[in-house]
Amino acid sequence: MQLYKLFAVLAALQPALAKSLVDFSAARGDNPSILGLRNLESVRDTKLDENTKDLYIKLDKDPKGTPALHFHRKKDYIRAEYHSLKNQIEVDKTYYIGYKFSLGAIQQIKLQMLTAKSKEYSANSHGGANIPLSLEFKSGKLNLQYQASGDAKRVSQWSKELKTDTVYSIGLVINTSRPGWVELYFDGEQQTLSSGSTRLKANTFPGQADPKFGAYRGEEVQIDTYVYNIQIGTTIDDIKEAAGLGSSPKPTATSNPTPVPTCAWEGHCEGATCTTENDCSDELFCKNGKCTADGAVPCSWEGHCEGATCSSENDCSDELVCKNGKCTADSTVTCSWEGHCAGAKCSSHDDCSDELACTDGVCA
């Protein structure tokens, strides 16, 4: 499910004009078309113009009877998402996105259900597209991941276990620059990221980057997810309802905030002495005898990193594949969507795997 494959929440603004850019409420009965372009794809290369019983995005109610925008995708189908604020990007701006949602019944397997994504379509160096920032639900956890460049691996910056049939709120603050920065709110509380800081320094303006919301990939299961509010704006007040902010917290004011030395297991936080990863709290790892959130951590799914035993790709974390019974980042694996890798024919960016863009009729 996509929030963003996060997440840059970017939009063009009239100079010196602060205003809400997107404000969708299922409770008000808003037409989903205000979110932008609807993308429905059943089997590969088969795009639909209208909802069907097996693939749709429509105003509905969640299992508890609350009005919601219902994203439904049958098993083996590929995409049900909205593409917002297409081509509306400005550098050196700060944008805010709020997203209130719940998940229907799902299986605990490896899949990529993106709750929000920001896809770079026009890179400013060497061509190619990547997903700079994404919120992905897989293996029972919502992960905020960052991909620094098209040839870099995605690295988990934060994760949270989620339950089905439970309403959650996400808030993102994104400064678009090179480097820019990102801050995250979960259920109204600002989150500390794996670096120990509340702010991630990142390349958030690699080129055209558009927000998308919905269900993409994870074809192994049927997907039902419910969205109550989506808000995108230029101040934090623009997203208070969707992000679950009862008041207006102020984002960190400095580019290099002091790290917050906190974790769920006191005495086992970043910098504590360790001999194995079991000695460290949360998402920390044991490296050179110290608990650390080093970006060099091999993957976000402990026990399923490179070198782990596997029988299929669902046994491996992130972008790893199962080869000869081991999880590996084999360079011969060209992209995450077979048949849509570099060199494949295309008519639009959506015909290409996540990392690629359609250039002159060819994925590149």
- Answer yes or no: is pLDDT of 89 > 70: no
Number of domains the chain contains: 2
| 303 falls within a domain | no
CB atoms within 10 A of CB 152: 13
The reply to whether 225 and 272 lie within a common domain is: no
| 316 falls within a domain | no
The reply to whether 170 and 54 lie within a common domain is: yes
Q: In whole angstroms, what is the distance from residue 175 CA to residue 180 CA?
A: 5
DSSP symbol at 104: -
Q: How much is the pLDDT for 318? A: 65
The reply to whether 173 and 219 lie within a common domain is: yes
The reply to whether 123 and 272 lie within a common domain is: no
- Answer yes or no: is pLDDT of 309 > 70: yes
Q: Find all residues with CB under 8 Å of 207, minimum gap 6, and list them.
A: 120, 121, 122, 123, 124, 129
Q: How much is the pLDDT for 159? A: 94
Q: In whole angstroms, what is the distance from residue 97 CA to residue 226 CA?
A: 17
Range of the domain at 269: 261-294
Question: Percent of the chain at pLDDT above 70?
Answer: 71
Residue 127 · residue 359 · CB < 8 Å: yes
DSSP symbol at 313: G
- Answer yes or no: is pLDDT of 78 > 80: yes
The reply to whether 234 and 271 lie within a common domain is: no
| 26 falls within a domain | yes
Instruction: Tell me the pTM.
Output: 0.63
Lowest mean pLDDT across 48-52, 172-176, 244-248, 259-263: 259-263
Q: How much is the pLDDT for 179? A: 83
Q: Is the peptide bond before 179 cis (omega within 30 degrees of 0)?
A: yes
Backbone angles phi, psi at 171, to 5 degrees: -130, 135
The reply to whether 46 and 194 lie within a common domain is: yes
Tokens of 9: 């929440």
| 280 falls within a domain | yes
| 8 falls within a domain | no
Q: In whole angstroms, what is the distance from residue 336 CA to residue 168 CA?
A: 28
Lowest mean pLDDT across 108-117, 264-273, 309-318: 108-117
The reply to whether 177 and 288 lie within a common domain is: no
Q: What is the pLDDT of residues 29-51, one digit of tens each?
A: 999 999 999 999 998 889 999 99
Q: In whole angstroms, what is the distance from residue 295 CA to residue 292 CA?
A: 9
The reply to whether 105 and 148 lie within a common domain is: yes
Closest CA to 227 of 37, 80, 78, 76: 80
| 338 falls within a domain | no
The reply to whether 148 and 206 lie within a common domain is: yes
Tell me the residue length of the chain: 364
Q: In whole angstroms, what is the distance from residue 41 CA to residue 47 CA?
A: 4
The reply to whether 285 and 188 lie within a common domain is: no
Q: What is the CATH number of the domain that holds 80?
A: 2.60.120.200
The reply to whether 35 and 177 lie within a common domain is: yes
Q: How much is the pLDDT for 107? A: 46
Q: How much is the pLDDT for 19? A: 66
Residue 321 · residue 330 · CB < 8 Å: yes
The reply to whether 186 and 286 lie within a common domain is: no
Q: In whole angstroms, what is the distance from residue 75 CA to residue 220 CA?
A: 6
Q: What is the pLDDT of residues 265-296, one digit of tens each?
A: 777 777 777 777 677 776 677 776 777 775 44
Name the more confident of 132 and 23: 23
| 359 falls within a domain | no
* CA angle in degrees (0–180, nearest 5) for 164-228-48: 90
| 326 falls within a domain | no
- Answer yes or no: is pLDDT of 334 > 80: no
